[in-house]
Amino acid sequence: MNQDKSHMLTSKVSLDEVTKKLSESFDYNFSGESSFEVPNIKIPDTYSTGLIVGQSGSGKSSILQQIGKSEKHYWSKDKAVCSHFKNADDAQEKFAAVGFNSVPSWFKPYQVLSTGEKFRVDLARSLKNGAVVDEFTSVVDRNVAKSCSNAVSSYIKRKKLKNVVFASCHYDIIDWLNPDWVYDTSTKNLTYRRSDRRPDI
C-alpha cells in the first residue's frame, strides 16, 4: 500500500420527515448524501506491527480495509474454543498471548463466553502474518487492554510475524503494543517508531 492519493466514500439515504426535522433543528444542511475522504497512508512493505488510532467515526476501519480484510471466525457450538486451534500447544500459547488465562473457559463453547472473552479468543485465532484487527481492546477494561497489548506484541515479535495491523480508539495502548508505525486519524500523521522499552504494567 504505497499510494499517495486519497479517495472518497459516499453513502446516500432517502430524505423523510425525520431527517428534515432533525437537520432543521440543528441547522445542518443535509442533502441525503454523506461523504468521507479515505487517505491512502504510505506504510512500509514489511514491518512487524502497525497501529491505526483515532476517535470513533474518524475512518480507522475504512483505512484498515485498504490494508487487509478482517477475518471472521467460525465457532462450532458443539466444540470447546480450545478445539479450534491446530493443537493443544498452539491453543495454550495463543491464549497466553491474548491474556485468556481462565483455564475452565478454554473448555466452553464460544457462545457462552463473555464479551471480553470472545474478543480474546477471536484475537487468538487472528494472530498470523498479514492479520488486520479492528476495534482492538475496545471491549475490555484498560488494565486488561494494556497487559493484552504487551503480551500480543511479545508473541508477534517472538514468532517473527509480519504486517500485523491493529485499529483502536484508545491511545493508551501505544506504548504497550509498541508498533513499528502509528497512523493517527485525528492529526492525519504517520509516525515511525523505534523499538522502545515498554512501561511497567
Q: 187, 39 in Cβ contact below 8 A?
A: no
- pLDDT given for residue 140 in this prediction: 75
DSSP structure class, residue 172: G
Q: How far apart are CA 120 and CA 126, in angstroms?
A: 10
Residue indicated by cell numbers 491511545: 171
Report CA 88 to chain centroid distance, whole Å: 26
User: What rounded mean pLDDT belongs to the chain?
Assistant: 87
Q: How far apart are CA 51 and CA 6, in angstroms?
A: 19
For residues 87-92, give the mean pLDDT. Answer: 96
- pLDDT given for residue 3 in this prediction: 41
Which range has the worst mean pLDDT, 29-33, 142-146, 154-158?
A: 142-146
Q: How far apart are CA 112 and CA 108, in angstroms?
A: 7
Secondary structure of 104-147 in HEC code, one letter for each residue? HHHCCCHHHCCHHHHHHHHHHHHCCCCCEECCCCCCCCHHHHHH
Q: Given a cut of 70, is residue 199 above it in pLDDT?
A: no
Q: Given a cut of 70, is residue 147 above it in pLDDT?
A: yes
CB atoms within 10 A of CB 74: 7
Provide the pLDDT confidence category of residue 33 given band limits of 50, 70 and 90.
confident
Provide the pLDDT confidence category of residue 121 given band limits of 50, 70 and 90.
very high
- Per-residue model confidence as pLDDT tens digits over 34-69: 776 667 778 888 999 999 999 877 788 888 888 888
Q: Which residues contact 102 (CB under 8 A, 6 or more apart)?
A: 117
Q: Given a cut of 80, is residue 111 above it in pLDDT?
A: yes
- Per-residue model confidence as pLDDT tens digits over 1-31: 444 456 666 778 888 989 888 888 998 888 8
DSSP structure class, residue 83: G
- pLDDT given for residue 1 in this prediction: 42
For residues 120-124, give the mean pLDDT. Answer: 94
Q: Given a cut of 50, is residue 92 above it in pLDDT?
A: yes
